[in-house]
Structure 1
Amino acid sequence: MVKAIRVHKNGGPEVLQFEDITLPAPGPGELLIKNRAVGLNFIDTYFRSGLYPAPHFPLVLGNESAGDVLAVGPGVTEFKVGDRVAVVSAHGAYAEERIAPATATVALPEAISYEAAASMMLKGMTAEYLLHRTYKVKQGDTILVHAAAGATGLILCQWGKALGATVIGTVGSKDKAELAKAHGADHVILYRDEDVAARVKEITGGAMCDVVYDGVGKDTFMASLDSLKPFGLLASFGNASGAVEAFNLGILAAKGALYVTRPTLNPHIAKRETMVAMAKNLFDTVASGKVTVPVNATFALKDAADAHRALESRGTTGSTVLLP
């Protein structure tokens, strides 16, 4: 028996139940992992609330975690008992122990802490594909990062700056503005008080942005489009404010033949060699000091409901980690 957070029905944070579960022995291609730290992400709230349909009930939430291998299933040759590992895989992370596919697991270098790893497997790998694959950021680009003081936003700001881009971030408060500036943002827009697109135009001297990274969704969609230069790209990678609704494609023509994509991590890590390469790029960048992963809040696993409330209230900055 191990302790886990499960949901038996969709709802608010109160549906998160701390209870005993029994895990099977790892099957072919699987690992049994003792979690040392578990990452908290907005996508967890989507599955809890029902915005994203749960594959089944009861469901152990959580995509990312870091810990130690306790047992290996048949056919696993890449890992052994005792290895430090990090995982990004569909569900199962909110637990003291988890079964995970070896294909969704990477070796964790000693230079990276469990807490940092649990904070970056989803958010950091997301930043990796956004900056290197969705739009390959290069010296001289201007990028706009919404929710720049959030966990993914802070990584995007730092890494974008390291790649030579001018980074503009949007935040909701002056405290968050200072945090974003301390993590690579050249300019910060207070979205509650300022017109985002108008400020982007002012900051860039009318040149606008090459790419907008938008994890907020519905509330920022039009401002994101209005912040792009002709042929610019909007990468709408999250729904923190709700999903973007259907819109007239003619808007993209009218605003300068814009591109819009709705990327997500899973297709990028579907190939083992790509996932390993992405993780190496991420871990090397963090180990070099170019990007730090601030873990600004920790909660005991049993207090996951409180962690969800903090996240959904926009009261968190950086990463939040659950500790089993």
Structure 2
Amino acid sequence: MTRRVIQLDAFGGADVLQLREEPIAPPAEGEVQLRQVAMGFNYIDIYQRSGKYPLPLPTGLGHEAAGVVESVGHGVTDFQVGDRVIYMNAGVGAYADRRNVDATKLARIPDGIDEIMAVAVFFKAMTAEYLLHRTYPVKAGDIVLVHAAAGGVGQILSRWAKGLGACVIGTAGSDEKCRIAREAGCDHAINYSQEGWVERVIAASEGRKAHVVYDSVGRHTFLGSLDCARKFGTVVVFGAASGPAPSIDPELLNKKGCLFLTRPSVFPHNADAAAFRANADAVFQALRKGWIKPSVSARFPLDKVADAHAMAERRQNAGSIVILP
């Protein structure tokens, strides 16, 4: 049996992504073989493709996919042929139409949720899940600032935080994206590409400032994020879409109000099977409650994955990008 897979031999632009056909072995002990129905695109894929987050070469790309179990290796008891499953922490290599995956990295997709909708939100929703429940446990009445609120993670963060009872202030890079942010549940939406956005955020909070700031933009928003957080507030940097956040003297956190600053990651929060599956259950429950609403900007076949990367780098997607076999 063979599979089609995206690989790269060098870092660079989207043109380094190569579609290849290669043999696939039967699943080893503890593995299952998946026929992948849909693959997720995430901005970390661009960081790894470009070499910002370098990987050993040659390498595959992609972290999440949903599919159907086609065969199981020796010792696998949690899954059987025909099960619909999803993963996001099995190592790079998800851009493929078939893949052997460690069974401990899989979670079942509940009935009533299709693979495309699941993969459209899963990695992003798993990110939102730990940000909202462990990095800073959001509670009713909190003021939450979400940068890039019209993006894939931003929309989920905004709607889920609203479901938890928070007042959500979102920022986005255009007036059109501010409209999308409001549709995603933001009480206020502010264009951070315009002068005075910090003052408008503070005004939207009625001068109280944010309990927590979720910043995935980085360089363009980071220093402003510190000004938007209240005394003893938390600033969470979990991405760098505009470039790395500038280095600061820790004393600045004291001057801004004894702020807490953290740079967390989704993977340590899902390092073991029990935690991963519990967090996945929380995501699917939020999906059923309507706190997460899948938003797919575009779908690309595997042989057009370079176009998916180009769309994201031009910031033309307001929601998720899904890759199909």
TM-score of the aligned structures, taking structure 1 as reference length: 0.97
Aligned to 1:26: 27
SS at match of 1:144: strand
User: Is the 8 Å Cα contact of residues 66 and 87 (structure 2) preserved in structure 1?
Assistant: yes
Looking at structure 1, the residues matched to 289 and 137 of structure 2 have their Cα atoms a distance apart, in angstroms, of 20
* 2:285 is equivalent to residue 284 of structure 1: yes
User: Is the 8 Å Cα contact of residues 196 and 227 (structure 1) preserved in structure 2?
Assistant: no
Aligned to 1:72: 72
Q: Which amino acid aligns with 1:162?
A: G
Looking at structure 2, the residues matched to 307 and 64 of structure 1 have their Cα atoms a distance apart, in angstroms, of 15
Deviation at 1:92, TM superposition (A): 1.2
Looking at structure 2, the residues matched to 14 and 129 of structure 1 have their Cα atoms a distance apart, in angstroms, of 34
SS at match of 2:267: helix
| Structure 1: gaps spanning 5 or more residues | none
Q: Please give the residue correspondences for 1:131-280 in structure 2 after superposition, counting only pairs within 5 Å.
A: 131-280=132-281
Looking at structure 1, the residues matched to 225 and 151 of structure 2 have their Cα atoms a distance apart, in angstroms, of 17
Q: Which amino acid aligns with 2:226?
A: L
Deviation at 1:24, TM superposition (A): 2.2
Deviation at 1:274, TM superposition (A): 1.3
Deviation at 1:30, TM superposition (A): 1.4
* 2:122 is equivalent to residue 121 of structure 1: yes
Q: Please give the residue correspondences for 1:296-311 in structure 2 after superposition, counting only pairs within 5 Å.
A: 296-311=297-312
Mark the CA change 1:78 to 1:163 in structure 2 (over 3 Å): closer, same or farther: same
Give the number of equivalent residue pairs: 323
Looking at structure 2, the residues matched to 70 and 238 of structure 1 have their Cα atoms a distance apart, in angstroms, of 35
Looking at structure 1, the residues matched to 283 and 13 of structure 2 have their Cα atoms a distance apart, in angstroms, of 33
Mark the CA change 1:288 to 1:4 in structure 2 (over 3 Å): closer, same or farther: same
The percent of aligned pairs where both chains have the same amino acid is 44
Deviation at 1:289, TM superposition (A): 2.0
Which string of whole-angstrom CA distances, capped at 9 and with x for unpartnered residues, describes residues 5-60 of structure 1?
11110000010111112222212221211110000010000110000011x22211
Looking at structure 1, the residues matched to 297 and 36 of structure 2 have their Cα atoms a distance apart, in angstroms, of 19
Deviation at 1:73, TM superposition (A): 1.6
SS at match of 1:296: strand
| Structure 2: gaps spanning 5 or more residues | none
* 2:18 is equivalent to residue 17 of structure 1: yes
Deviation at 1:113, TM superposition (A): 1.4
Looking at structure 2, the residues matched to 253 and 22 of structure 1 have their Cα atoms a distance apart, in angstroms, of 57
User: Is the 8 Å Cα contact of residues 156 and 291 (structure 2) preserved in structure 1?
Assistant: no
TM-score of the aligned structures, taking structure 2 as reference length: 0.97
Looking at structure 2, the residues matched to 58 and 127 of structure 1 have their Cα atoms a distance apart, in angstroms, of 31
Deviation at 1:195, TM superposition (A): 2.3
Deviation at 1:76, TM superposition (A): 1.2
Deviation at 1:210, TM superposition (A): 0.4
SS at match of 2:220: helix
Looking at structure 1, the residues matched to 250 and 227 of structure 2 have their Cα atoms a distance apart, in angstroms, of 14
Q: Which amino acid aligns with 2:85?
A: V
* 2:99 is equivalent to residue 98 of structure 1: yes
User: Is the 8 Å Cα contact of residues 111 and 287 (structure 1) preserved in structure 2?
Assistant: no
**What RMSD over aligned residues (CA atoms) do the two structures have, in Å?**
1.1
